[in-house]
Structure 1
Amino acid sequence: MGTMHAIGYTTNLPATDRDALVDLELPVPSPARHDLLVAVFAVSVNPADVKLRAGSAPGGEARILGFDAAGVVRAVGDGVTLFAPGDEVYYAGSVDRPGSDAEFQLVDERLVGRKPATLSFEDAAAMPLTTITAWEVLFERLRLTDNSGGTMLVIGASGGVGSMILQLAKRLVPGLRLIATASRPEAEEWVRRLGADAVVNHRGDLVAQVLETAPHGVDYLFTSHSEGQIETYAAIVKPFGHIVGIDDPEVLDVTPLKDKSIAWHWEFMFTRPVQQTPDMVDQHELLDQVAFLVDAGRIVSTATTRLSPLDAERLREAHRLVESGSVIGKVVVSRQP
């Protein structure tokens, strides 16, 4: 099927190094049974991309990153039933396959949703990974329903996942009180707009601030920064409460949670595709549900920084921005459809 433009890395280098990500010319892949071949028009950069580029050896060949994409289906495998060529889609794919930083990408149809009709490719590309993560945190790890109540603390609420947790919880779990952390005025404004009922500054005394607004503690806590924080979380969360973590601490001792019987949950949105679980299609279904919410005006894209074209230079810039830790929302890189 000819060749395509892609962006990858061959060695672990700082994002400031012009060889950290390089432009490549690769063969266009052919779809297997459940695969879609998608023409990628926009991607977003997540902390997962940054971590892999900086610390995971590519193994001798160039590795293509990218775990968010929006584009158009160009070809399908012989077992595909959910999509057809010409469909506009969005998805996060899988960590164990070549990524979306390319002109074309193969992705299993069971991980793909129909792109929200009201969104551009750029705005749609900001959503899949963080949306899937947030959905699984709320409705699978914590098992919340539309009748659930209590209080939830969202650590790092202005980031990609936190921004989606706030929106989904506010719309689908209306009885849940949401406390968000933010350290800058613009971040506080952002999280309040997305649904936070109260805001605390995670750079200050977190325990004192949270207990001032929730004197008896919180029922649920989401964190992307768990290392060295377990004793703090134990002081904030109520007995029999729940914590969900998504980061990768080198060491995590959860013993301080035992006296309160606090449950610790891990969330990893790539579990379904990597483990090939029987319910992989759940990711397709939840992305379709979120597309419906977007088109109904109940959920908004979290794209805030847009770069173009989709090449190595712009992706290096996107990686630098994400590494800075100061980005509110998501960084998107696109090419013209």
Structure 2
Amino acid sequence: MSILTPFKNLMQRFQPKMMAVGINHNAELSEKDAFISRQIPKPKPAEGELLVKISASSVNPIDIKTRVNYHLDGIFKVLGLDAVGEVEALGKNVDDFVVGDQVFYTGTQPQIGTNAQYQVIKAALVAHAPRELSASQAAAMPLTSITAYDILHQAFGLTVERDSVQDKTLLIINGAGGVGSILIQLAKYIGLTVIATAGNKESRAWEEGLGADHVLDYHEDLAGQLSKLGYPKVDYIANLQDTDAYWDLMVNTIKPFGRIAGIVTNTKPVDIGALKEIGAQFTWVFILARGNFNHNLQEQGDILTKIATLLDEGELKSTATKFYQGLSVESLKQATKIVEGHHTLGKVVIDYQEDEQ
């Protein structure tokens, strides 16, 4: 044993702690210990980082995927990517934020997640939170907004400015979920004609309320419905539901030189060659790729700055629809159950400020 070991143990004993909710195995949600709470060391910001006291977070499908595929049994992992909170401390060389700023962001997979009282986050990924939204309303927005923006800008090559696109049509497969709900709004903002799919009256009403020009019933023949509307072919397709199930539809519906974006991994081979003859493109959009590969992180913060402005100006509205109170095993379990049921309109949020409404 090193002579320094007792001193290290003593320092760890008196290191500030924080409460976090996480997992330590790939449990089914029905299991009693699917989530557990622990006291863990409160982090300190390194160079280029912020320490944020988290006010609210939201649950995303990637959180569920991470939980069910977790194989490091016995090792505690905190999930959660989206957050809104207050800057409590700054690392060196942080110029765009000060202590006390209200910020929002989505994090990266390797780090301790947002289901905790505090988190350190690279400043490049962060933006000042919308002033006109509550913490809970803003917490719904980061991951899905960046994904929607990337679909329009990176995958489709469009400029995300008001009425920058004319006479172009976008088909959104699954317009009622988190990404679809903000994509409808951003697409309308830039001037696209938006056709979205829905599975029930509630989803249809939700999508129409967000601005969709047409809503199709995905239980029925989508190609036939598109033709009846006068759009047998479309310029852009965003598949936010099931790449395998809708591949043939997309290939047969996209216009020559059109563009398709997907966010859900295929489980079997797809015939990408079918797009060659018409010069169409397919692009994967995965928001976490920037953080995972430390690629152009500032772009993510810049996108959120633009989203915050559009929210404050009323061009976009929050997609938060369900709210749970308090950072706890029970609130996270209930919020996750809603998202895992695949029938969510918009986003599910957890407000950590139990004494505030």
Structure 1 residues not aligned, in runs of 5+: none
Q: 1:84 aligns with which of 98, 101, 109?
A: 98
Larger radius of gyration between Structure 1 and Structure 2: 2
Counterpart of 1:157 in structure 2 is 175
> Pairwise mapping of residues 88-237 of structure 1 onto structure 2 (< 5 A)?
88-145=102-159, 146-149=163-166, 150-171=168-189, 173-174=190-191, 176-224=192-240, 225-237=242-254
Match among 60, 71, 79 for residue 46 of structure 1: 60
Choose 49-58 or 121-130, whichever is displaced more: 49-58
**Letter aligned with residue 193 of structure 2:** R
Shift of 1:255: 3.1
Question: Residues 31-80 of structure 1, C-alpha deviation per residue, up to 9 Å, x if partnerless?
Answer: 11111110011110000001111123246411110010101011111121
CA distance in 1, matches of 2:164, 2:94: 36
Aligned residues: 334
Deviation at 1:229, TM superposition (A): 2.1
SS at match of 1:228: helix
d(CA) in 1 for partners of 2:70, 2:265: 13
Distance 1:213-1:252 versus aligned 2 partners, 3 A rule: farther
- For residue 259 of structure 1, report the CA deviation from its aligned partner: 3.2
Give me the whole-angstrom Cα distance separating, in 2, the residues matched to 1:28 and 1:75.
12
Counterpart of 2:84 in structure 1 is 70
User: What residue in structure 1 maps to residue 309 of structure 2?
Assistant: 292
Deviations 1:291-335 (A, max 9, x none): 111111111100000001111111111111111111100000111
TM-score normalised by structure 1 residue count = 0.96
Answer yes or no: is 1:260 the counterpart of 2:278: yes
Any conservation in 1 of the 2:155–2:260 contact (CA below 8 Å)?
A: no
Corresponding position: 1:251 with 2:265: no
CA distance in 2, matches of 1:129, 1:58: 25
Instruction: Find the aligned partners of 1:210 and 1:17 in 2 and give their Cα distance.
Output: 44
Contact 1:7–1:102 under 8 Å retained in 2? yes
Deviates more, 1:8-17 or 1:203-212: 203-212
Q: Do 1:211 and 1:236's aligned partners in 2 also have CA atoms closer than 8 Å? A: no
Per-residue CA deviation, residues 256-302 of structure 1 (Å, 9 max, x unaligned), is 3333232100101112111112x311111111111111111111100
Shifted more, 324-333 versus 249-258: the winner is 249-258
Per the alignment, in what secondary structure is the counterpart of residue 266 of structure 2? coil
Contact 1:10–1:62 under 8 Å retained in 2: yes
Give the 3 Å change call, closer, same or farther, for CA 32–59 of structure 1 in structure 2.
farther
Distance 2:330 2:230 in 1: 46
Aligned with 1:6: secondary structure?
Answer: strand
C-alpha distance in 2 between matches for 1:210 and 1:50 = 33
Please tell me whether the aligned partners of residues 230 and 256 of structure 1 are also in contact (alpha carbons under 8 angstroms).
no
Distance 2:347 2:183 in 1: 14
- State the TM-score, normalizing by the size of structure 2: 0.91
Residues 298-317 of structure 1 aligned to structure 2 (within 5 Å): 298-317=315-334
| CA RMSD across the alignment | 1.4
For 1:219, the aligned partner's letter is: D
**Greater Cα shift, 228-237 or 217-226:** 228-237
> Structure 1: how far apart are the matches of 2:131 and 2:231?
43
